[in-house]
Amino acid sequence: MKAIVQDRYGPPDVLELREVAKPVPADDEVLVRVHAAAVNAYDWHVMRGDPYVARLMTPATFGFGGPKAMIRGRDFAGRVEAVGKDIDRFKPGDEVYGDLGNADGAFAEYACVPDGAVELKPANLTFEQAAAVPLAGTTALVGLRDLGKVQAEQRVLVNGASGGVGTFAVQIAKWFGAEVTGVCSTRNVDLVRSLGADHVIDYTREDFTRGGMHYDLVFDLVGNRSLTECRRVLTPEGALVLSGGGVSKGGSLFWPMGLIIRGQVVARFARRRRVILCTVQPTKEHLAALRDIIESGKVTPVIDRTYPLKDVPEAIHYVEVEHARVKVVITV
């Protein structure tokens, strides 16, 4: 089968389209014929081994000279080709979607997926739309529902509202009944408003940390403001949820993990204006919950561009340096 393979860390040109052996599912795995896969910021971080400290802090993903998994890509959607002997939830031909996590392997014609990382895809989505959901949708769901404990009529601010996670966060927060403010650039104001945001702040014209408004929950997906700046716009009982962010700066020691590390310190001591770190591993329960929300018509994935499998290096370059909005998807 064809797959995008990486042997060493570096820029997009370290990625190669190669012929590799078709995988065989283990007893608790599903073999999926991949029809679409999504690009995430995670992919360029692993591709480059950036930030360097991640190679020490997350050894399950990062090796010394290159990533642990040879084939890139984690989000996928496709049809079940075969199932292991312990699988009784699926049968060949089922349309599914999921997230391979740090095992990677979605930028390929076939992928073996553990039972706990795959679900029937939303019936009202194409494969391309479904592939855009797992990691970004789960991050938004967990950050708002499980960590942020969002409630109806609360004020929620999403910094990075036009990105992959941000577009889901705006819609999911509205689904919970919150009053949502999205922060984005000028070109994305109309997009964020169309997703249901009650208020949109153009960060090129207005600093949300100095606007005088206070929020019950700030979901920071960019990492471009300090903890002090973000916490000062919280209500006394409010929470700041941090989830990575940013574009490639050509190699860094800590960024964006520097903010995450500082957040870990503050989170230990802050009792008011709390800081919460959002780390997620999508599960079948998350995928099922997202499917239900999407099939209700309340949340719709938005795709910026699609690329064929051979152009994965170009797609990742676009995501890592050009402020890609919403989701970028690979067709296989």
Domain ranges of the chain: 2-133+301-331, 135-277
Q: Which of 311, 285, 306 is nearest to 129 (CA)?
A: 306
The answer, yes or no, to whether residue 108 has pLDDT greater than 80, is: yes
% pLDDT > 70, the chain: 87
% pLDDT > 90, the chain: 73
Looking at per-residue pLDDT, the higher value among 249 and 194 belongs to: 194
Quote the CA–CA distance of 128 and 132 in Å, as a whole number: 7
The answer, yes or no, to whether residue 322 has pLDDT greater than 70, is: no
| Two structure tokens written together for 282 | 């999508």
Q: Which amino acid is at 27?
A: D
Q: What local confidence, expressed as pLDDT, does residue 253 receive?
A: 40
Quote the CA–CA distance of 58 and 304 in Å, as a whole number: 30
Range from 2-6, 119-123, 199-203, 321-325 carrying the lowest mean pLDDT: 321-325
Q: What local confidence, expressed as pLDDT, does residue 26 receive?
A: 97
The answer, yes or no, to whether residue 327 has pLDDT greater than 80, is: yes
Please compute the mean of the pLDDT values over residues 5-11 and round it to a whole number: 93
pTM for the structure as a whole:
0.90
Query: For the domain 135-277, what is the CATH code?
Result: 3.40.50.720
Range from 43-52, 131-140, 295-304 carrying the lowest mean pLDDT: 43-52
CATH topology for the 2-133+301-331 domain: Quinone Oxidoreductase; Chain A, domain 1 (3.90.180)
- Taking only the tens place, the pLDDT of each residue in 288-304 is 999 999 999 999 999 99
Vertex 300, ends 298 and 305: CA angle to 5°?
A: 170
Residue 35: other Cβ atoms inside 10 A: 21
Phi, psi of 249 (to 5 degrees): -110, 15
Quote the CA–CA distance of 148 and 191 in Å, as a whole number: 24
The answer, yes or no, to whether residue 64 has pLDDT greater than 70, is: yes
Q: What is the mean pLDDT of the chain?
A: 89
Please compute the mean of the pLDDT values over residues 198-214 and round it to a whole number: 94
Looking at per-residue pLDDT, the higher value among 34 and 65 belongs to: 34
- Taking only the tens place, the pLDDT of each residue in 235-290 is 999 999 998 755 445 544 445 554 555 555 455 555 567 888 888 888 999 999 99
